[in-house]
A and B are shown apart, each in its own frame.
Chain A
Amino acid sequence: MNRSEIESRLKDLLAVALGNKPQLQGVTSDSHLVNDLGLNSVGVLYLVIAIEEYFDIRFDDVGFGDFTTVGDVVDYVESKLQ
């Protein structure tokens, strides 16, 4: 799966995990997880588990607080899939 596919799936997962909220319109890799998407700790919990289930990976060596933007998460997923 290439980077653009991962980003596309991540946007889908954001909608699944957080619901189709207005702030999810126009999400880009530069979108800030907290400032732009309004992710709180519960949202993080849902999103991480959704990503783990979809990509069959584990966020076991990193804290979600280490990610700032959607692109950071894409980078991490991409590295895990390699």
Chain B
Amino acid sequence: MKWKLIDPVYGDMIRVKSGSIWHYGIYVSDEQVVQFGLAPRQRARVSDAQVVVCQSTMDEFCDGSFVEVAVPEKRDKKRTPPAQTVQNALDRLGEGGYNIVHNNCEHFAYQCYLGQKYCSQTDDIRKQFAFLSEVKVYYAAVPSTPFALDLPTALRNEEIASCQNADVKRDKYFVWKLLLRAIGSNYGKDATFVKQPTGKWTCNLCSFSLSHGDGVVAVSVSKADTGVDVERVALPSNVKVMERVFSQKEVTDYHQLQTDEQKALYFTQKWTQKESTFKMLNQSSFLASKPSEYTQHVVSKAIDVNGTSYVVSVACNPLQRVSFCKIDL
């Protein structure tokens, strides 16, 4: 649809800028423009329930601003004939059901003019929020079955082989297996991995983060920055360390909790939130910080794996939807 600064004629769809958004109507004559509510800046703040299809003069509609007239392009749906357009508008005088996102003045005008509801303004805004994509968190119990270092990335096999601790070796192997599953099901099978000089692994298809320990592994995958941490729910082994790492408010909140179960859950949530944040920020090692020192987005979930309670937290930037998925390895 093109919009031109020309004089409207009977049955045209017209629009006028009202603040930073457009207000739409159907032109009948200079004395009659049909619209779904007056332009936002012309009406006092009223509830949506009070907004109805109404008519005004052209002067009232444009309120001193330039009026643009819709001119359909070849690719557009064929417009409704002018007389029918006007009739469509007049038939709806007094109709309510206004909703700024789903049933507004632009929807109304397009429905009269083209026969279908459409709103370019909400579509454009929705596209701006397309970055609200998803960070996916997968977690799994570490299998006790034997395993061979058969990962497709040779350097990762070498890295695992060099571990002295058998549990860590097992964790590192299975967290990578989980990572391959996560990336494969979300971003395809063509993943290649590079170990950066900092020791951090990166992938050509997405960002990812790994966490493992106490019999569970977790990964987060996303197109944006992400960090994940999973810990078994437990009380702090050293309250003084917690008091140094947590803010005064967090420490106060912790001590005000009534039961050890509540304290353990609170402590583990806060701890994993901090650690996931710092992993996302590419810190080479966990450097706990007061919450006021970070402003990233963190989501936590209490999970149960083989009868043991854990908390998994994922940090992401920018803000994204988060989904958690438990799988069997």
A28 to chain B, nearest CB (A): 15
User: B136-150 CB contact bits vs A (8 Å, 1 = yes)?
Assistant: 000000000000000
Q: Which residues of B contact A9 (CB under 8 A)?
A: 297, 299, 319
Q: Are A45 and B319 in contact (CB under 8 A)?
A: no
Given contacts A41-B40, A65-B45, contact A49 B126 (CB under 8 A): yes
Q: Are A59 and B102 in contact (CB under 8 A)?
A: yes
Q: Are B99 and A63 in contact (CB under 8 A)?
A: yes
Given contacts A44-B100, A45-B100, A49-B122, contact A56 B321 (CB under 8 A): yes
Q: Which residues of B contact A63 (CB under 8 A)?
A: 47-49, 98-100
Q: What's the dominant secondary structure at chain A's contact region?
A: helix
Given contacts A16-B319, A41-B21, A45-B121, contact A59 B47 (CB under 8 A): no
Q: Say yes or no: is B165 at the interface (Cβ < 8 Å to chain A).
A: no
Q: Which residues of B contact A5 (CB under 8 A)?
A: 299
B302 to chain A, nearest CB (A): 10
Q: Are B21 and A54 in contact (CB under 8 A)?
A: no
A7 to chain B, nearest CB (A): 13
A19 to chain B, nearest CB (A): 12
User: A30-50 CB contact bits vs B (8 Å, 1 = yes)?
Assistant: 000010000011101110111
A9 to chain B, nearest CB (A): 8
How many angstroms between the C-alpha atoms of A9 and B132 in the bound complex? 12
How many angstroms between the C-alpha atoms of A65 and B45 in the bound complex? 8
Chain B residue with the shortest CB-CB distance to A44? B100
Interface residues of B (CB under 8 A from A): 19-21, 40, 45-49, 98-102, 121-122, 125-126, 129-130, 132, 297, 299, 318-319, 321
9 closest A-B pairs by CB = A63-B48, A65-B47, A53-B129, A41-B40, A53-B132, A49-B125, A65-B48, A48-B101, A12-B319
